[in-house]
Structure 1
Amino acid sequence: MNINIKKLHPDAIIPKYQTLGAAGFDIHSIEDVTLLSKESKLIKTGLSMSIQQGYELQIRPRSGLALKYSISVLNTPGTIDSDYRGEIMVLLINHSSENFTITKGDRIAQGVISKVYQADFIEVSELDETLRGSGGFGSSGIK
């Protein structure tokens, strides 16, 4: 699959996969930003993309940033729809008690291209019954 990508800023970095088996590609910041403790900010990438209809770009946290610094994507996974042509931005949050500095060029998130299915919604008066029924949060227990 090819994805057309446009640099909106000269410092923008075209994403790439770091290994042959990688599901996600790195997304870089084009700005220097300090995320204060418990703060969230929208970080610019300087890129826009044309994603094929029937697919989405999911923005996900980088595991190393989450493990070592408690930095995550707030609306994880963030969705970039196939008809969006604006700048890709990443909503990061600092869950730690320490400030975290992002410098221009840092890898701040990862992107995954995923197939999207659109459903037809049919209103009915009754739904089929299941063993679980309406059991929700925690209904299956811990063990």
Structure 2
Amino acid sequence: MDLRVTKLDPRAVIPEYKTSLAACFDLTVIEDAIVPAHQQVLLRTGLGFGIPKEHAMLIFSRSSTFMKFGVILANGVGMIDSDYSGETDEIFLAVLNPGMDDVKIQAGSRVAQAMIIERPTMRFVEGPAEDINRGSFGTTGGHGAPGV
């Protein structure tokens, strides 16, 4: 399956899978950025994507991102819908610095990775709850919320 990638900035790096069995492709930052302690910053990729209909893009931190850069994705996992594909719809990476010191991210750094997934359209049907009560947070390990 083809995935249209548009360079919205000439410095953008077209992603590639780094191994033949990789599930994700890396997203590269195109500008140096300072992420102040306890703050979040949007990092530019300079890329737009033509995600096929009935698909979506998930964006994750790379496994080495926190150890190398001291930042995490501010939203945990990013979700890009297939209709975010206009000529100014650039993919940004929202990163958070939970540390005590400012962090510098250099242009060319691979901070995040993305994958394309199928997105089925569900039909919502109202109905009664099932006759199963599972409890609350952590109940399968015997650590349910108090009073539940």
TM-score of the superposition, structure 2-length normalised? 0.87
Q: Give 5+ residue unaligned stretches, structure 2.
A: 144-148
Q: Indicate the SS of the match to 2:137.
A: coil
**Is residue 3–residue 52 contact of structure 2 (8 Å, CA) maintained in 1?**
yes
- Seq. identity, %: 34
* Per-residue deviation, 1:142: 5.8
CA distance 1:110–1:121, shift in 2 (3 Å): same
C-alpha deviation, 1:23, in angstroms: 0.9
Cα deviation, 1:91-112, whole Å, max 9, x if unaligned, reads: 1111222321111111111011
SS in 1 for 2:22: coil
Distance, in Å, in 2 between the alignment partners of 1:96 and 1:69 is 11
Amino acid at match of 1:65: T
Structure 1 counterpart of 2:99 = 96
Matches within 5 A, 1:1-143: 1-85=1-85, 86-124=89-127, 126-132=128-134, 135-141=135-141
- Counterpart residue identity of residue 129, structure 2: L
Deviation at 1:67, TM superposition (A): 3.3
Q: Distance in 1 between matches of 2:68 and 2:27?
A: 18
Root mean square deviation, CA, Å: 1.6
Contact 1:57 / 1:80 at 8 angstroms: preserved in 2? yes
Question: Unaligned regions of 5+ residues in structure 1, if any?
Answer: none
**Does the CA-based 8 Å contact 1:62-1:72 persist in structure 2?**
no
TM-score by length of 1: 0.90
Alpha-carbon distance in structure 2 between the residues aligned to 1:12 and 1:142: 49
Contact 2:71 2:96 in 1 (8 A): yes
How far residue 137 of structure 1 moved from its aligned partner, in angstroms, is 1.4
